[in-house]
Amino acid sequence: MIASYLRAHLWAPVVLVVIALGGLLLLAFELLLPWSLVALVTLVAMGLAREPFARWRSLRSKGYFGGRRTGDAWLYEEVADGTVRSFALKRERTEPGHTELFVPDEASWRRAVPSWARERRTEIVRRIAERLGASDLHETGA
């Protein structure tokens, strides 16, 4: 089941490779587009595919993805029984254009997350910190 899920979401790395190879071919044979436009398209494609590829790779190799920004929340994901399960933690705006994640204390955590994550606060916070970075992650009541 997990293999079929990951194959279904493999589009980002495949698109990146196809665009990069197409760009290299166009550049090599000087067809249709100038090299600078090919380079620009390749860089944009790489930027767009970066996070989906990192998510795919992490879910496949580690069984979890430390998270990603979705609106005003941080979405943590992991694979269990062949499906991806997730939950969101609210991010808070600390200054214009910048948000930080404040992890709730132990009691609030148990109320805020699904049952499968209730007793795993330390483990999940460590995984989120790997992805988010220590400067934007704050534990309350740790």
Closest CA to 39 of 53, 50, 24, 28: 24
Q: How far apart are CA 48 and CA 12, in angstroms?
A: 8
Closest CA to 103 of 123, 119, 121: 121
Is the domain of 68 the same as that of 57? no
Is the domain of 55 the same as that of 70? no
Closest CA to 88 of 67, 119, 106, 104: 67
pLDDT at 114: 95
Is the domain of 100 the same as that of 131? yes
pLDDT at 40: 82
Per the structure, the complete domain to which residue 51 belongs is given by 2-61
Is the domain of 35 the same as that of 68? no
Domain boundary among 61, 92, 109: 61
Is the domain of 57 the same as that of 69? no
3-state secondary structure of 98: strand
Partnered with residue 91 across adjacent β-strands are 101
Is the domain of 77 the same as that of 133? yes
In this structure, of 26-35, 58-67, 127-136, the range with the lowest mean pLDDT score is 26-35
Q: How far apart are CA 15 and CA 78, in angstroms?
A: 24
Residue 5 CA neighbour count, 13 Å, CB half: 16
Mean residue pLDDT of the chain comes to 81
pLDDT at 84: 93
Domain total for the chain?
Answer: 2
CA 78 to each of CA 23, 58, 126, 141: distance values in angstroms, whole numbers, following the listed order: 34, 9, 14, 25
Q: pTM score, two decimals?
A: 0.67
Is the domain of 68 the same as that of 45? no
Q: How far apart are CA 91 and CA 69, in angstroms?
A: 9
Closest CA to 13 of 49, 58, 44, 55: 49
pLDDT at 41: 80
Is the domain of 57 the same as that of 80? no
